Amino acid sequence: MIGWSYHGGKLDAARRIFGDGPAPWIDLSTGINPDNWPIAKAPAFDWRALPGDAQLMALEQSAADYFGVDPAHLCALPGSEAGLRLLGELLPGELLHGAACYRTHRDIYPDSRAFVPGEADPAGKILLLGNPNNPDGHVMDRMMLDGLLQRQTESGGWLVLDEAYADCLPDVSMTHRVEDGQRLILFRSFGKFFGLAGLRLGFVIGPRALVARFRTRLGSWPISTAALVIGATAYADRGWIAAMRRELARQATAMDAVLHAHGFDPQGACPLFRLIATQDAMALFERLARQAILTRPFDENRHWLRIGLPQGVEGLARLDRALAHG
C-alpha cells in the first residue's frame, strides 16, 4: 500500500509505481484546498532572522480574533498533526476515538479504542472526535456535543475535537465553549482551508493551564518565520475567507454532480473532500492512479475511497474523464 491508506499524499511513490502519463498528476488524496491563499499578499520578512516573539504574538492574536477566543487560550503549533501527537504525552488517561476517524486519532494512545457518540458516551475518559469528521465529512449535532462536554467536565474526562476542517463550516466550531472551567480542547489546522499545508501551522485551543503546557513542551521557535507572517496576514483577510467559503461550496456541488453521474453517492458536508463507497475501492484507486489521479483508500474499509476537491473546471473534467475510462 506504500502508506496510501494511512494518510493522504505520497505522490512521489505514486509516480514511481504508476509512472507519469501525458497529463500532470493531480493529488486528490489530502483534502487540501487547491486554490491557496495568495502568499504574495503577505509582507516581506527576513529569512535570516530567528522567529520573533512579537511575530508569534501577532499570529496568535490574529488567529484568536478569527476563531473568536482569547489569545491566552491558544497556542500555535507546527501543524495540528504535531499537536495531536503531543496530546498523549501531556494528557494522560484512557482515550476513545470515533469509530471512523483520522488515522492519527487511533495512534496517539497505544490502548485507545473506538466508540460511537450517542450510542455510548463514557464518562471520565478522553473522547477524541473530528468535527467535521475525516474521512466521512460528517458534522456532529451541536446539542450532542454540548451534552458530551457537560458529562466529561462533570466526570473529570475531556472532550477533544479535531476541527481541522471547521474553517469551511465555521458554525460547527465549539470555540465559543472554550474556558478554564470546561474540559474542552480544540485543534485547528491552517493549511487545509488556506491551501498551504507545506507551511505546517496549526493551533491548540483550551484551558490556559493546558495551553501553557503545550507552549512549554514546544520550546523555543517552534513556528517558522514564514508561518508566523503568512498566517497572521491570512487570518486577517476576511474578504478572501468569505469568498473562498462560497467558492468551495460551489465547487463541491459541481463535484457531487460528476460523482452522481458516475453512479456514486458522495458523502460529507466538508467541501474539500467527498467519501464514496464502491465494491472494490482499491481497483478504482488503481484505475485513477493509472490516469495520474491520486486518491485515498482505506485499509479498514475496502469499499471506501476519499476524493479531494479538484482544482477548477479542468481538474474536475480530468476526474470526470478518468471515472468514465475503463
Q: Please spell the DSSP secondary structure of 177-225, one letter per residue.
A: G-STTS-EEEEEESHHHHT-GGG--EEEES-HHHHHHHHHHH-S--S-H
Could you tell me if 201 and 174 are in contact, meaning their C-beta atoms sit under 8 angstroms apart?
Answer: no
CB hemisphere CA count around 28 (13 angstroms) = 29
CATH topology for 11-36+239-324 is Aspartate Aminotransferase, domain 1 (3.90.1150)
Q: Which of 7-11, 165-169, 228-232 has the lowest mean pLDDT?
A: 7-11
The pLDDT score that the predictor gives to residue 299 is: 85
Which burial class, exposed, middle or buried, applies to 263 when counting CB atoms under 10 A from its CB (0-12, 13-18, 19+)? exposed
Average pLDDT rounded to a whole number, residues 269-284: 96
- pTM, two decimals, is 0.94
The pLDDT score that the predictor gives to residue 122 is: 84
- For the chain, the domains span 11-36+239-324, 39-236
* Residue 95 bridge partners (DSSP): 126
Pick the CATH number of 39-236 from 3.20.20.370, 3.40.640.10, 3.40.50.720, 3.40.50.170: 3.40.640.10
Please tell me whether residue 71 adopts helix, strand or coil conformation. helix
The pLDDT score that the predictor gives to residue 60 is: 98
The pLDDT score that the predictor gives to residue 8 is: 78
For 198-235, write each residue's pLDDT tens digit.
999 999 999 999 999 999 999 999 999 999 999 999 99
d(CA 271, CA 169): 9
Sign of the alpha-carbon dihedral angle for 313, 314, 320, 324: positive
For 91-144, write each residue's pLDDT tens digit.
999 999 988 888 888 889 888 898 888 777 788 999 999 999 999 999 999 999
The pLDDT score that the predictor gives to residue 164 is: 97
